[in-house]
């Protein structure tokens, strides 16, 4: 199974109250776990939790990691720039959702 297929499966079946491990997110993003750890240590994943030494990622964190990895790869962006762009894209997504709720159809 290809890494992008793994990501599709994880996204398609992940529930809001489910959590992914560091290894699962790394596989879905086609990166080594060290890539994620470095970004966590730099504070680029503000909503990641660590319980009893085990990192837990939400579906939002998975989506953020995939965006950041794509930005770093496609545009040779540094981690901080990729995180900033991911923040802005998340904000745009939130605003579009609010707009759809206010003006349905």
Give the residue numbers spanning the domain of 31: 3-102
Give the closest residue to 10 by CA, choosing from 69, 73, 71, 57: 57
Q: What is the CATH number of the domain that holds 38?
A: 1.10.1660.10
Residue 83 CA to residue 91 CA, distance in Å, equals 12
Residue 18: per-residue pLDDT: 84
The CA distance from 105 to 57, in Å, is 33
Please give the tally of structural domains in the chain. 1
Over the stretch 21-78, which tens digit does the pLDDT of each residue have? 999 999 999 999 999 999 999 999 988 999 999 999 999 999 999 999 999 999 999 9
Its pTM surpasses 0.85 = no
Which of 13, 49, 59, 7 lies closest to 28, judged by CA?
A: 7
Whether 9 shows a pLDDT value over 90: the answer reads no
Residue with more model confidence, 61 or 6: 61
State the Cα–Cα distance between residues 21 and 88, nearest whole angstrom. Answer: 25
């Amino acid at each position: 199974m290809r890494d992008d297929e793994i990501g599709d499966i994880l996204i398609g079946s992940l529930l809001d109250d489910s959590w992914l491990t560091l290894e699962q997110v790394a596989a879905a993003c086609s990166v080594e776990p060290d890539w994620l750890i470095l970004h966590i240590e730099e504070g680029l994943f503000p909503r990641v939790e660590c319980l009893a030494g085990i990192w837990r990622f939400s579906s939002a964190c998975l989506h953020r990691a995939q965006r950041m990895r794509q930005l770093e790869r496609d545009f040779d962006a540094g981690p901080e720039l990729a995180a900033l762009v991911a923040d802005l894209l998340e904000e745009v997504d939130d605003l579009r959702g609010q707009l759809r709720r206010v003006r349905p159809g």
